[in-house]
Chains A and B, each alone.
Chain A
Amino acid sequence: MSKHVNTRNPLHAEINAYSCAVILSSENLIHDADLRKYAAKLMTSISDECMKRGARDVGHIKAYIEYDTGFLFADTLGDPSDVTIEGRSGSPSYSFRIVINSVIYGLDEDGIKNATEGALQKVSESSGIISVHETKKTTPIQVSDRRTK
């Protein structure tokens, strides 16, 4: 069952989060430039999906991608023009690991989860990413509640 960030602090009202980590792979070698395009599309797509589902604003959506010897950090605050991609290029690789954290204002956790996973699926398929292996999926606030009880 979904829980809100504000279960413990009233100042966190209406702000919820979802995070996941997955390994993605392709039959073709994936180059740094491909990953940058992929990350940018993914940030915009998650943001759009959250807004479509009724979010009032994007708090912060960010992703960390690691592959071979390279890494990328991507983030957005919701405006397609403000997607930032930084990192260090590595050798092309057939697979990569991505961690996504979506923190959204005015959308419940299930909505953020569906938006994040839906966007990941859609952008991966359109980018020729053929398999998705989930390594870790968390609902951060449930974890923290369990620890603090």
Chain B
Amino acid sequence: MKLLQIAGYLGSGKTTLIIELARSLSEAGNKVAILVNEIGEIPVDGRVMQDYGLTVKDIGGGCICCQVVGSMIGTLKKLAESQKPDIVIVEPTGLAVPGSISDAVKRINIEQLLIIVLFDTSRQEKLLNYDSLKRLISTQLKDADIIALSKVDLGSEDIVEHALQAVSRINPRARIIKLSSKRGDGILEIVKTIQEISVKA
């Protein structure tokens, strides 16, 4: 079982990307399970994914990066034993720090494929300039292997380029992919990257 983390701030498009990725990875012959952690005791995202026919486990009661790490570990272990998926896609809350989740997962020897962090280009001014928000967003981006610039269809080329430059400065080692769920941009590139790494691993 290999773990793929799809992180990013609230409303950045994580759920939409996961639905598309899970479908593509399943069609390519992978058994995929999804672990969703949401702010709010009553899950919404997990229900939406289930309605799209995906196998989903919800973790409520707090953020898996800092509040309910134990629940995440327990759920991952159970998933590995009961469903034996090839890939588990983890959707943390929009406030989660991917590196903290990664550290916790390392302790139970689950192989990690990638950390993909979404960055909403249409809200870049707020995300990069509001004081306390900026700290959270920068921390999330620094942990990414891939930064997916989401909603690129909503802005001009200049706006997208500005976002690209900004996130590159925060995390120069991450691969950057432009993503538009509306137009379908970037999905194939992400799926190909996951498959390449998955085969190598």
Contact = CB atoms under 8 A, between A and B. Distances in A.
A133 interface: no
Interface of B is mostly: loop
Interface string B45-71: 101100100000000111101111000
A135 B65 CA distance: 29
Nearest to B46: A64
A5 B67 CA distance: 10
Nearest to B127: A57
B74 to A, nearest CB: 13
B170 interface: no
A1 interface: no
B95 A57 contact: no
A140 B62 contact: yes
Interface in B116-147: 120, 123, 126, 130, 132-133, 135-136, 139
Given A11-B136, A12-B95, A60-B94, A136 B39 contact: no
A57 B94 contact: no
A5 B95 contact: yes
A143 B67 CA distance: 11
Contacts, number: 109
A101 B42 contact: yes
Contacts of B41: 19, 136, 138, 140, 143
A101 B67 contact: no
Contacts of A73: 44, 47-48, 51
Given A19-B42, A143-B41, A148-B68, A103 B61 contact: no
A105 B61 contact: no
B130 A15 contact: no
Contacts of B136: 11-12
B61 A60 contact: no
Interface of A is mostly: strand
B132 A14 contact: yes
Given A5-B95, A17-B39, A77-B11, A63 B44 contact: yes
B95 A143 contact: no
B130 A99 contact: no
Interface in A102-149: 103, 105, 136, 138, 140-141, 143-145, 147-148
A136 B42 contact: yes
Interface of A: 5, 8-9, 11-15, 17-21, 56-57, 59-60, 62-64, 66, 71, 73, 75, 77, 86-88, 99, 101, 103, 105, 136, 138, 140-141, 143-145, 147-148
14 contacts: A5-B39, A5-B95, A8-B66, A11-B97, A12-B63, A15-B95, A64-B47, A73-B44, A73-B48, A138-B41, A140-B40, A144-B68, A145-B67, A148-B67
